[in-house]
Amino acid sequence: MIELYFWATPNGLKPRLMLEETGLEHRIVPVDIGKGEQFRPEFLAFSPNNRIPALIDHAPAGGGEPVTLFESGALLQYLAEKTGRFLPTDLRGRADVMQWLFWQVGGLGPMAGQNGHFRVYAPEPVPYAIDRYTRETARLYGVLDKRLADREFIAGDYSIADMACYPWVVPHTAHAQNLDDFPHIKRWFESIRARPATQRAYAGGTEAYSSRKLTDEARAVLYGTPTTPR
């Protein structure tokens, strides 16, 4: 049995997609990051970066102690290796998927994340930051669009690279990106959105596990204003 420590954010939804695609038996453990549950000692004991998603596999391959993991890219890779799915085993195919997985966790995720932060959550408008992260998000969309121009998915068949990127393209409107400007992303996005596993992940992922409105308390918890109870 796998426990996924989850909140319905783009990073949380990456392993959720993978669990739905593979059908691995799992249990969702909510971590309300708006309430500061990511700072609970029992969570920090295996997820020391105080962020979701994280995972505990109580039945790892070969037996033994449970495996604990944090960082969404590491979760996706682990689940792919556990199931033998969505990550090729040949040298070139695997390297291709892994470079795009790293591109997402090191680029698209953080840049789109800052884009969203300065647009939605910053306590005061910072035009330079909004401009900087909007342009950087657009640049990365351009890279992805070019990549998808002559292939169905990012690297070979549908893979963990696609599952890493998709949840960060879902909020494209909030990040001031128009998919009409990126026709290859648009086609890829629609095809992933139509997958039954994607439908299940989002149907079961966004209502019960999201902070509907960011309260001052949640803002303080998440962004470390002086009232943060750390």
Distances (CA, A) of 102 to 48, 98, 110: 20, 6, 12
**CB of residue 78 vs ligand GSH: minimum separation in angstroms?**
12
Does residue 179 contact residue 172 with C-beta atoms inside 8 Å? yes
Q: Considering beta carbons, is residue 168 or 189 the nearer one to ligand GSH?
A: 168
Q: Considering beta carbons, is residue 38 or 137 the nearer one to ligand GSH?
A: 38
Alpha helices in the chain (DSSP H): 10-22, 41-44, 72-83, 91-103, 109-116, 127-147, 160-169, 183-193, 196-203, 216-223
Q: Considering beta carbons, is residue 22 or 228 the nearer one to ligand GSH?
A: 228
**CB of residue 104 vs ligand GSH: minimum separation in angstroms?**
9
The residue ranges that bind ligand GSH (CB under 6 A) are: 9-11, 33, 38, 50-53, 71-73, 105, 109, 222
| Residues sharing a CB contact under 8 Å with residue 3, sequence separation 6 or more, in sequence order | 26, 27, 28, 29, 55, 56, 58
Q: Considering beta carbons, is residue 14 or 26 the nearer one to ligand GSH?
A: 14
Q: Considering beta carbons, is residue 191 or 217 the nearer one to ligand GSH?
A: 217
CA pair distance 221, 215, nearest whole angstrom = 10
**CB of residue 92 vs ligand GSH: minimum separation in angstroms?**
25
**CB of residue 69 vs ligand GSH: minimum separation in angstroms?**
10
Report which of 47, 15, 31, 24 is spatially closest to residue 164, judged by C-alpha positions.
Answer: 15
Kind of pairing, strands 54-57 and 2-6? Answer: antiparallel
**CB of residue 77 vs ligand GSH: minimum separation in angstroms?**
12
